[in-house]
Structure 1
């Protein structure tokens, strides 16, 4: 069953007001560009049934105080399909967004390209992808709210191409619509919930929470802080002083009561929203990425390791976050805390090396200021990939090492009992890192 809301009702669900664009369209000529028999009559019946003249409604509105451009699909109009006039309207909406420096909010409910217009309809996907790319290059955020259904080219351009992708519960979401899938396909794979689980959707939001959630996102994405931002204060466990040895530094970082990244995020931000997934089929719960509001009302992007071995999906999600923040001019805070990159066969199959390389590249080429705080374990390259060059700080209960002491002992053909001695030799304590010029300072509680 499709979303019962019309295009205008979907707009009213999120926006406080709405002003429609003047389209200036010519009446549909005959049976369209390929002369599909009966197309003119079908188009006229759709207009009479819906009160609309096309499958998309575009204009400007206000969402929780943020002025935006809205693109909302009318599924009752020929299945919300994309034809030439649909593409022209959406393109004009993007052009207006760039001219007025406004975010774009897309509310898709579509079955894909319009067969009645043949390849002329399919070509709209290229045009829409180009408009979205131009808006992205202009540094303007794009947020999609997936309605039921969101399939075909509408999903593969305006939907999946958005910076942040939200979805209504149980919405049908997938490139393949219900009538063109393999007969034995599991319908659960084509849902918003499945897309979330596999890293293609950021959050599923109930309708009664949608306006507030979308408003938070828009507020965060349009009010960047001026960077570089200072590192958070330490949340070290009571009684944690300077480590007297490498083995003690490792013990502090691995203490079960030591504060982890979520505690730092809670203390540092007044509110936050998180992205989810690497857009390549994976999600790593041990990498938290998103945008947070500072007490002064400005936004900082964050990527935070949570103490687990970081998986390829985690590195790719962090790279996605850094690049998004860079496009929007939002400074980035990273919290480093991992024993290292995941090294099991599944991680290698998923591309651990390329994922780490991509994050290194994203951090190295970011034009916005980056600040990093080592809050626990700094295990080799899996931790360094998330660290800002020349702006890394450390908490008193942390360590950073070229390799974990146990692994170093193994490589050196030492016994496991000698890992403590190896830890001392690696000079991995916060004060050692400061002496070596690896960190800029040790933050205080």
Structure 2
């Protein structure tokens, strides 16, 4: 564990936290518990299952909570709770981000409900730190299970994991027989519970702490247009321009806009939408957040991930750039069962309530409410090869019970061209 601390940070100073409780066999008198604890101290050289202190990661001072799995399986007991509570309190005093390097089997059974109740203490401290506007990053080592996963791990703003780490609420000795691959970092990434799996932990922590502590003080400028600069003459021409295979999509815009960036992934509800890109990027030495549609129909998980991004950025004071490009929200039966309406409402609410500046650029298709949920009222711009419409021309034609050959005419009537959007007051201008 000490080697891990030395690898990720410099000038580490451990906090001095008194060890509460003098009872040899713990709060519930578990036979032999005192002896087990003494052996753990001799084996690891540590007095408890966590070490907490302050260190510098890259150029950023951070409060570290580091688990020693060799000390009773990195389990959470009363003294562990004392240390973690003190660490969060110091982080708020010092105004530092919190980085938790977790390796734990869960709550310490030899302390019974006293051990389990430490999860409430940890949750309270994390909530206070979140309310103070300080970022929290967790690193899931092998294993991260039980209450450590369900508090410090899954509850962090950004969740990183080491390759192959066992991650899950149920530990290996208590889970039902079945698919063990479900309890891996890779599986949790696929299920939207983890943001990144990292090989270079010191580098990843340096990048993330740099981004999350260096918010821009300016509103995001809309990106420059990367596609055609020619405005369409008709609505149907505008629609066709957005559907051209050569039109640049979100990846090209993000690469051109940011010097470098780091993604977040997943909605924390079991879903990932590959058609929505969210994260934080550095532009001119300052950080902006981004949520970008990539041209596909947006899934409920995409709306929830974007809402998570907007709320996190708002809490940390980081301005947000959104890119609109979708034919609309996914509307099949799977999307309805996954809560499409509630997910779209969640993003509308997140954007509407954000106190940080949010700037939007429509870079392609702007299909109905699934696109509008990503757009900032009063701060939406449009690219020349984009459109924004109450619904697609095809859907409008179908709703009006017109023959399919009327789709181009309907597109013209919808006034969805970039210049129409500016004239209607929907967009501020054409980039």
TM exceeds 0.5? yes
Pair 1:216-2:210 in alignment = no
- The structural deviation recorded for 1:24 is 2.3
Q: Work out which of the residue numbers 397, 401, 404 in structure 2 matches 1:416.
A: 404
Q: Work out which of the residue numbers 369, 375, 382 in structure 2 matches 1:381.
A: 369
Pair 1:37-2:31 in alignment = yes
Q: Work out which of the residue numbers 102, 105, 116 in structure 1 matches 2:99.
A: 105
Contact 1:81–1:111, Cα closer than 8 Å, also in 2: yes
- The structural deviation recorded for 1:26 is 4.5
Pair 1:187-2:175 in alignment = no
Equivalent residue, structure 2, for 1:256:
245
Contact 2:137–2:159, Cα closer than 8 Å, also in 1: yes
How many residues align? The count is 431
Contact 2:149–2:168, Cα closer than 8 Å, also in 1: yes
Equivalent residue, structure 1, for 2:195:
202
Pair 1:22-2:16 in alignment = yes
- The structural deviation recorded for 1:10 is 2.1
2:178 & 2:100 partners in 1: Cα distance? 28
- The structural deviation recorded for 1:191 is 0.3
1:199 & 1:229 partners in 2: Cα distance? 27
Q: Work out which of the residue numbers 198, 216, 226 in structure 2 matches 1:225.
A: 216
1:218 & 1:120 partners in 2: Cα distance? 34
1:123-168 deviations in Å (ceiling 9; x for gaps): 0000000100111110000001100000000000000000000000
The RMSD of aligned alpha carbons is 0.8
1:210-245 deviations in Å (ceiling 9; x for gaps): 1111100100000001132211111113xx411100
Equivalent residue, structure 1, for 2:45:
51
Q: Work out which of the residue numbers 160, 168, 176 in structure 1 matches 2:162.
A: 168
Q: TM-score, normalised by structure 1?
A: 0.96
1:14 & 1:402 partners in 2: Cα distance? 50
Q: Work out which of the residue numbers 286, 297, 308 in structure 1 matches 2:296.
A: 308
Q: Work out which of the residue numbers 368, 382, 385 in structure 1 matches 2:356.
A: 368
- The structural deviation recorded for 1:14 is 1.2
Contact 2:20–2:79, Cα closer than 8 Å, also in 1: no
Helix, strand or coil at the partner of 1:387:
coil
1:145 & 1:336 partners in 2: Cα distance? 32
Q: How does 1:56-205 map to 2 (within 5 A)?
A: 56-182=50-176, 184-205=177-198
1:322-354 deviations in Å (ceiling 9; x for gaps): 000000000000000000000111111111000
Pair 1:274-2:263 in alignment = yes
Helix, strand or coil at the partner of 2:103:
coil
Contact 1:28–1:40, Cα closer than 8 Å, also in 2: no
Pair 1:340-2:331 in alignment = no
Contact 2:63–2:98, Cα closer than 8 Å, also in 1: yes
Contact 1:10–1:107, Cα closer than 8 Å, also in 2: no
2:14 & 2:223 partners in 1: Cα distance? 45
Helix, strand or coil at the partner of 2:134:
coil
1:122 & 1:385 partners in 2: Cα distance? 40
- The structural deviation recorded for 1:27 is 6.4
Helix, strand or coil at the partner of 2:342:
helix
Helix, strand or coil at the partner of 1:91:
helix
**Structure 2 stretches of 5 or more lacking a match?**
none
Contact 2:329–2:371, Cα closer than 8 Å, also in 1: yes
- The structural deviation recorded for 1:25 is 2.2
1:426 & 1:241 partners in 2: Cα distance? 20
2:344 & 2:193 partners in 1: Cα distance? 20
Contact 1:103–1:141, Cα closer than 8 Å, also in 2: yes
**Structure 1 stretches of 5 or more lacking a match?**
1-5
1:349 & 1:406 partners in 2: Cα distance? 25
Equivalent residue, structure 2, for 1:330:
318
1:225 & 1:386 partners in 2: Cα distance? 21
Q: Work out which of the residue numbers 321, 330, 335 in structure 1 matches 2:309.
A: 321
1:365-420 deviations in Å (ceiling 9; x for gaps): 01111000000000000000000011000000000000000000000001111100
- The structural deviation recorded for 1:264 is 0.6
- The structural deviation recorded for 1:16 is 2.1
Contact 1:83–1:117, Cα closer than 8 Å, also in 2: yes
